[in-house]
Structures are given as structure tokens and as C-alpha cells.
Amino acid sequence: MNQSDPIMTLSSVSKSYGKIDALKDINFEIKAGEFVGLLGPNGAGKSTMFQIISGLFAPNEGTVTIFGRHYSDDSSAILSRLGVVFQDRSADLDLTIKANLAFHGRLFGLSGQRLQERILEQTQRFDMGEMINRRVRQLSGGQQRKVEIARALMNHPSLLIMDEATAGLDSLSRAALVQDIHNLAKVDGVSILWATHLVDEVAQADRVILLQSGGIVADTTPEGMCAMANTDDLTAAYATLVKSGAPKQPQA
Ligand code: ADP
Ligand code: MG
């Protein structure tokens, strides 16, 4: 894999559940250090895409290439460099922060001093270094989310995918979390796929992929999305494009 190769490519990916076409002919790629917003209303197919990208199930058609590999040939080579934050809460509430992170770190072969250092590194990133012995149940919703993100970073992933990561957070915590993840892309060069139905969370994204009814309506910058809808307001652009099911590329 060359440095300029995409970190992840989805080619002609389709997935149906019985008669429901959850994803239809999806094509896009993510480059190193890019923050890509995956924006779409409920039912658009965001979580289905995450399940395919995280290897939980294969698409009916099409190819997913991550770090130049496919799940069918070498899933551990992909999973060892992938971080996933699922839509539903998944930290163990009865365990401490440290125990949650330690368990996950051991899955990636970390132990001893290296494991302890990694736990501190990731908790300090989110100002939680002082509280690692607290049970997750005692934390606020925002802190619980940060534990899940810290956990997803334990293996130093090159690609971090986050599905509605701010669900249940107040607006200040939401904005702070979005900023933390932008820093991760800028400072650490991690590629991010950030799924949300909240337009403000993708306003600073390098690219926005607008998904509706299983299809990509737009794959452009936030400014490009505004241009497509003839407005300078991203929220208005989203409303217009989701209603109209606009074409794939901005009009010249
Ligand atoms: P989003 O995350 O954008 O809300 P989903 O990927 O959850 O979208 O859902 C896309 C479509 O697939 C919806 O119509 C949803 O009802 C359907 N769907 C999702 N998961 C299942 C499933 N396990 N069985 C049947 N239909 C599903
Ligand atoms: Mg979802």
C-alpha cells in the first residue's frame, strides 16, 4: 500500500434485509487523516454501513477494501488498525474505566507496562486520567462516551469509525467531542468516518457524504453541499438535498 492510497474504499456496495434495500451501490473512499462526515436521517443506512465496514457482515454485492485488504482474506490485519464506536452504548457499566480499557487492550495483545501506559495515554487525552478507578456507571453520559472512544483508540487505529457518537450528550459536550475528534485527525493523522443526523457536527468536516434511503446524494465539502442547494446555510442545504434526493455531484 502506498502512502497516497486511500485508507478505505467502498466499491459498488449494496446490502438488503429481505425486501429492504438498506444500501444501494455505494462508492466512496477515505484518505489518510481525513475527517469525513456521514450525514443522513434515521433509516438512511448509516449503521448498516458501519456494520459492513467493521466486518460484522458482508455486503450482498460490492467490495470493501481497508488498508489495502479485504475481510475475506485477512480480517485481523484490518481489525488490528480499526477503531469502532457503535451507536449503542457498549462499555461495561459495572467495571472501572481502567478495567474496560485493559480488557480491550489485552484483546490487541497489550500487557504489563505497555498496557498501563496506553490506558493512561488515552484517558489523559480526554482529561480522565485521574478517574480511571471509577466505575463507568458513576460517570456522566459524555464521560461514558469518552471511555468508549478511549477504548477504541487503545490499538492506535489508523481509521476510527463513529456511529452517532454524541447521542444523549448536551450541546456543549457534543461540540467538545467533535473538536476532540478533529484534533485526532489533524494531530495524529487518524482517518475518521463520523456518522450523524446532526448537521452542525459535520460543518468542519473535510468532506460530507450525504446518505438518504441507502444511496449517496452528495459527496462533497460542506461548502459544496451549500452550493448544491444554492444557499450558504448548511442546515438549509441538508433539508433541501434530503427532500429533493439531489444528484451526486455539484452542478457546474
Ligand atoms: P441509520 O443508521 O441511518 O438510521 P440503518 O442502517 O439502521 O440506518 O437502517 C437502514 C434501513 O435498514 C432502515 O430501513 C432499517 O429499518 C433497515 N434495517 C436496519 N437493520 C435491519 C435489520 N437487522 N433487519 C431488517 N431491517 C433493518
Ligand atoms: Mg443508525
Specify the residue with its C-alpha closest to ligand 1, atom 22: 17
CA of 21 to the centre of ligand 1 (A): 9
Specify the residue with its C-alpha closest to ligand 1, atom 5: 45
Scan for cell 494531530, then name that residue: 187
Instruction: Compute the distance between CA of residue 101 and CA of residue 109 in angstroms, rounded to an integer.
Output: 13
pLDDT of residue 251: 45
Instruction: Compute the distance between CA of residue 209 and CA of residue 219 in angstroms, rounded to an integer.
Output: 4
| Least confident range of 59-73, 117-131, 198-212 | 117-131
Atom of ligand 1 nearest to the CA of 164: 2
pLDDT at 55 over 80: yes
pLDDT of residue 250: 45
Mean pLDDT score of the chain: 93
203 or 87: which leads in pLDDT: 203
In the chain, residues under CATH classification 3.40.50.300 are 1-81+157-252
Segment 210-236, tens digit of pLDDT: 999 999 999 999 999 999 999 999 999
Contact between residue 61 and residue 14 where contact means Cβ atoms under 8 Å apart = yes
Contact between residue 35 and residue 206 where contact means Cβ atoms under 8 Å apart = yes
Segment 101-157, tens digit of pLDDT: 999 999 999 999 999 999 999 999 888 989 999 999 999 888 898 899 999 999 999
CATH topology for 1-81+157-252? Rossmann fold (3.40.50)
- Band of the pLDDT at 89, cuts 50, 70, 90? confident
